[in-house]
């Protein structure tokens, strides 16, 4: 068998990521050009910690986008002659190197690591976004109105938070639950919140301008209904939008477990901000509850929420890796990082490097999110 030397190996790896480097460089120059318009994100250019975290996050984001270009093999392609090979082995038929070696089924670890980023970048940010919308929709009225609304919602949130997170996830994604209608019901409820949120924002802003309110509301209902039917029921008439049942189940579990934490943060921020003078001025003008909550309170709490979103995506990434490690993620052949760690850990004594690519990928992405959150926290305190 033929192997690459160290310089050929790492030089080849760096060259494979050429579209990622190009996209990062373009993003950096655009950030510098439109710095003033980017607000808190533009200020990251002055923060070494925040900028480092942003670059790491962008690296994995663009890796997921250009996975088909970066990867050298298909993630499920097996080469039985090359099972459990060390880094740098060259597949002789195609003369393409396996930069990080192969797993116990002869699949290229480099390509599986690259394609595994797609699962993380699909589930973690999107599930966190939906969890934030759910938390905002429930946390704003709980903190602003108080009373019975606050008591009921806070009791439900505290009850969910009282469960250990990993046990809660285990209960929600076990095969027995997957076979029931519960995941679809949960996803159906959670995906209603973005549509309701968008309609509420439009109504609070354009309640006295029906010429804008009606067409925008119709557009939201059409677009939202299309996404809703494709994601929740896998019934997109165009066949563009679909979500695997396992992905939908994990998505619903992430939103269910994350929403109460977001609710408590939004509730606490709302209780503090509602005492400010500009909120009192809006009340004096006769603005509606939802206008005050969405256009006076929510924008002024964006700093802590953006920081928490970065941290929460990191927590979600770790949870997804944990679920995959325990065999509760996607199908066993799927290249998500947690499943890859689980599938290769038994061969560490034979090939010590066999678990490193997916482990370093998972750790680096979470590290980037934590550094980005630290940078955003510093800049938000300066606002």
From CA 376, how far away is CA 382, in angstroms rounded? Answer: 10
Q: β-strands 96-98, 2-3: how paired? A: unpaired
> Region 66-74: what's the mean pLDDT?
93
Instruction: State the pLDDT confidence band at 380, using cuts at 50, 70 and 90.
Output: confident
CB 196 within 8 A of CB 137: yes
Diameter of the chain by CA atoms? 79
From CA 44, how far away is CA 35, in angstroms rounded? Answer: 9
> Region 360-374: what's the mean pLDDT?
93
The reported pLDDT for the residue numbered 243 is 72
The reported pLDDT for the residue numbered 218 is 94
Cβ within 8 Å of residue 220, ≥6 positions away: 195, 198, 199, 202
Domain edges within the chain: 2-115+344-382, 119-314
Distances (CA, A) of 364 to 54, 225, 257, 324, 367: 12, 37, 24, 17, 5
From CA 375, how far away is CA 54, in angstroms rounded? Answer: 9
| DSSP-assigned beta bridge partners for residue 113 | none
The reported pLDDT for the residue numbered 94 is 81
From CA 244, how far away is CA 331, in angstroms rounded? Answer: 10
From CA 344, how far away is CA 205, in angstroms rounded? Answer: 54
Instruction: State the pLDDT confidence band at 114, using cuts at 50, 70 and 90.
Output: very high
- pLDDT of 148 > 70? The answer is yes
- pLDDT of 195 > 70? The answer is yes
Instruction: State the pLDDT confidence band at 382, using cuts at 50, 70 and 90.
Output: low
Cβ within 8 Å of residue 252, ≥6 positions away: 172, 183, 186, 187, 190
Give the percent of the chain with pLDDT over 70. 94
From CA 76, how far away is CA 111, in angstroms rounded? Answer: 9
Instruction: State the pLDDT confidence band at 4, using cuts at 50, 70 and 90.
Output: confident
How would you classify residue 114: left for phi > 0, otherwise alpha for psi between -120 and 50, otherwise beta?
A: alpha
CB 124 within 8 A of CB 255: no
> Region 258-268: what's the mean pLDDT?
93
> Region 325-351: what's the mean pLDDT?
80
Bigger pLDDT: 261 or 174?
261
- pLDDT of 155 > 80? The answer is yes
From CA 261, how far away is CA 356, in angstroms rounded? Answer: 32
The reported pLDDT for the residue numbered 93 is 81
Element counts in the chain: helices (H) and strands (E): 18, 3
When mean pLDDT is compared across 33-37, 235-239, 332-336, the lowest value belongs to 235-239
The reported pLDDT for the residue numbered 177 is 61
From CA 58, how far away is CA 112, in angstroms rounded? Answer: 19
The reported pLDDT for the residue numbered 239 is 67
How would you classify residue 79: left for phi > 0, otherwise alpha for psi between -120 and 50, otherwise beta?
A: beta
What stretches of 103-191 show up as alpha helix (H) in DSSP?
Answer: 109-145, 147-161, 165-173, 175-178, 182-190
CB 116 within 8 A of CB 124: no
Report the chain's terminal Cα–Cα distance, integer Å.
59
- pLDDT of 275 > 80? The answer is yes
When mean pLDDT is compared across 8-17, 99-108, 204-213, 327-336, the lowest value belongs to 327-336
The reported pLDDT for the residue numbered 175 is 64
- pLDDT of 1 > 70? The answer is no
- pLDDT of 171 > 80? The answer is no
- pLDDT of 268 > 90? The answer is yes
Q: Which helix (H) or strand (E) holds 98?
A: strand 96-98
Supply the pTM of this predicted model.
0.87
Q: Which helix (H) or strand (E) holds 90?
A: strand 89-91
């Amino acid at each position: 068998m033929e192997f690459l030397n160290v310089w050929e190996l790492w030089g080849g790896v760096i060259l494979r990521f050429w579209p990622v480097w190009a996209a990062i460089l373009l993003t950096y120059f655009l950030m510098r050009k439109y710095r003033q318009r980017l607000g808190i994100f533009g200020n990251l250019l002055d923060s070494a910690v925040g900028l480092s975290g942003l670059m790491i996050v962008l690296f994995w984001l663009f890796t997921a986008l250009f996975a088909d270009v970066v990867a050298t093999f298909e993630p499920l392609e097996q080469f039985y002659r090359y099972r459990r090979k060390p880094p740098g082995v060259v597949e002789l038929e195609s003369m393409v190197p396996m930069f990080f070696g192969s797993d116990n089924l002869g699949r290229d670890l480099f390509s599986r690591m690259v394609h595994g980023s797609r699962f993380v970048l699909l589930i973690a940010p999107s599930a966190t976004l939906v969890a934030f919308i759910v938390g905002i929709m429930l946390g704003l009225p709980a903190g602003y109105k108080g009373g019975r609304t606050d008591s009921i919602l806070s009791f439900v949130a505290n009850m969910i938070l009282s469960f250990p997170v990993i046990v809660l996830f285990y209960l929600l994604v076990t095969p027995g639950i997957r076979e029931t209608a519960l995941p679809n019901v949960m996803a159906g409820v959670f995906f209603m919140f973005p549509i309701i949120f968008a309609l509420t924002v439009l109504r609070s802003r354009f309640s006295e301008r029906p010429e804008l309110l009606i067409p925008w509301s119709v557009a939201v209902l059409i677009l939202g209904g299309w996404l809703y039917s494709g994601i929740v029921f896998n019934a997109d008439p165009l066949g563009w939008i679909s979500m695997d049942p396992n992905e939908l189940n994990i998505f619903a579990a992430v939103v269910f477990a994350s929403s109460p934490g977001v609710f408590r943060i939004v509730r606490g921020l709302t209780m503090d901000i509602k005492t400010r003078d500009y909120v009192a001025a809006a009340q004096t003008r006769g603005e509606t509850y939802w206008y005050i909550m969405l256009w006076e309170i929510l924008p002024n709490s964006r700093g802590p929420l953006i920081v928490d979103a970065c941290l929460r995506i990191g927590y979600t990434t770790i949870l997804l890796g944990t679920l995959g490690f325990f065999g509760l993620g996607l199908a066993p052949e799927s290249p998500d990082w947690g499943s890859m760690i689980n599938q290769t850990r038994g061969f560490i004594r034979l090939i010590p490097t066999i678990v490193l690519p997916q482990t370093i990928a998972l750790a680096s992405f979470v590290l980037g999110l934590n550094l980005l959150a630290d940078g955003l926290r510093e800049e938000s305190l300066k606002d």
